[in-house]
Amino acid sequence: MLTQEIEKPWIKEKDIYARISWWLTWAVAFLGVAGGAVRCYFSWKDVPRVGNLCLIMEDDFATFDLENTWTREVDMGGFGNGEFEMTTDSSNNSFVKDGKLYIVPTLTSDVIGYDNVLNGYTYNISGCTSTNSTSCGAVSNSTAGTVINPAMSARISTRNSHSIKYGKVEIVAKMPVGDWLWPALWMLPVKETYGPWPASGEIDIVESRGNSINYAAQGQNVVRASLNWGPLSFLNGVAKTYGWWSDRRSTYADGFHTYAVEWTPTFIRMYVDTRLDRMLQVSFNEPFFTRGDFPETILNGTQYIVTPDPWVNGTRNVAPFDQDFYLIMDVAVGGTNGWFPDGVGNKPWLDASTEAMLDFARAQNTWYATWPEDIDQRAMIIDSVKMWQSC
């Protein structure tokens, strides 16, 4: 009878190279984990903090407080952007329902008729809050290229109630659906300390577009933040201080997201949902006039002058963002300032045209077909707003 010999590999001489490779593999893995942990720690440690904050305003929209918190801005003048909507004090365009604030764009033709939007009608908006009388009314005459603003919407602000100089703002909101809708949550200075826009600054916490995700200039799946600043309207440094975040799985009209700004004397940061989803962070490490790299001279009428520095007497490196800013929430429609670039997405108007709004109104059947009938989809819906002041 043959006996099969049982192998006993553990009594054989060990392969030193196998042993070295085993330890080396685990050593490299350990170093990778340790290195990642160290990097995460220092990345967390290096994230600037806003410090102590005191809550100065919180609104969960159990009611629409138009006495102590919000002011409706009523205007037909386009707000410097050539916007095509008029903003109203109508409950059709801004209202609270089920603990949420709705800002809803609607058609002017639903109120005065489409023919009157284009021809032979004088419209004066009720409750106008503009100090410019030309922004309180319009006359339609398509032959002359004039038209009544073809859309109605709303713009509300804390201008008369709450503002902060350094601190934090946090807004939970859902963006609207519809071509050429322009939702925005943003801030302007209470006083134009350094001069007219953009010399005194603008903080855009978030802006978006209601166009589809196929829109080549960033549609519903992209949100953007920016700072506007410059010595004159045609010298705006926004191109150096903007950024965005995109959602690859859905759009920002599909559900609610938290949009926030954190602002201190050393930095400002805007993000969506978490600081990891940062749209923009700017360190106040150099004067904004230096950051802008503006031309040394500019043409003023018929002669050249030295480009003025409006912030020379402000807080170094921070001005114009060293003053009180208030919050604005609105849904604009179209505009001629370039937010919707010419030639993209079958845009029915040209920014430089003197008949841009008229061309937009004539294309109403095309763009209105993309606006959902369901108000919950067409509106920007705000669930809550909080404002903190540094303290």
- 368 burial (CB, 10 Å; 0-12 / 13-18 / 19+) is middle
Catalytic residue among 13, 202, 296, 355: 202
Decide: helix, strand or coil at residue 13: coil
Cα within 13 Å of Cα(212), Cβ side: 8
Name the nearest CA neighbour of 198 among 144, 240, 160. Answer: 240
Q: Which residues contact 188 (CB under 8 A, 6 or more apart)?
A: 159, 202, 203, 325, 326, 328
Judged by DSSP in three states, 23 sits in: helix
62-99 residues labelled b (16+ CB within 10 A) or e (exposed) = eebeeeebbbbbbbbbbbeebbbbbbbbbebbbbbeee
Is 73 marked active-site? no
3-state secondary structure 182-225: EEEEEEEECCCCCCCCCCCCEEEEEECCCCCCCCCCCCCCEEEE
Q: Which amino acid is at 278?
A: R
Name the nearest CA neighbour of 110 among 346, 373, 356: 373
Coil, strand, or helix at residue 289? Answer: helix
Q: Judge whether 207 counts as a catalytic residue.
A: yes
Task: Give the C-alpha separation, 94 to 88, whole Å.
Answer: 8
Q: Phi, psi (5° rounding) for residue 57?
A: -155, 135
Pairing of strands 137-141, 71-72: unpaired
- Classified as helix, coil or strand, 53 is strand
The catalytic residue among 207, 286, 296, 355 is 207
Q: Which residues are catalytic?
A: 202, 207
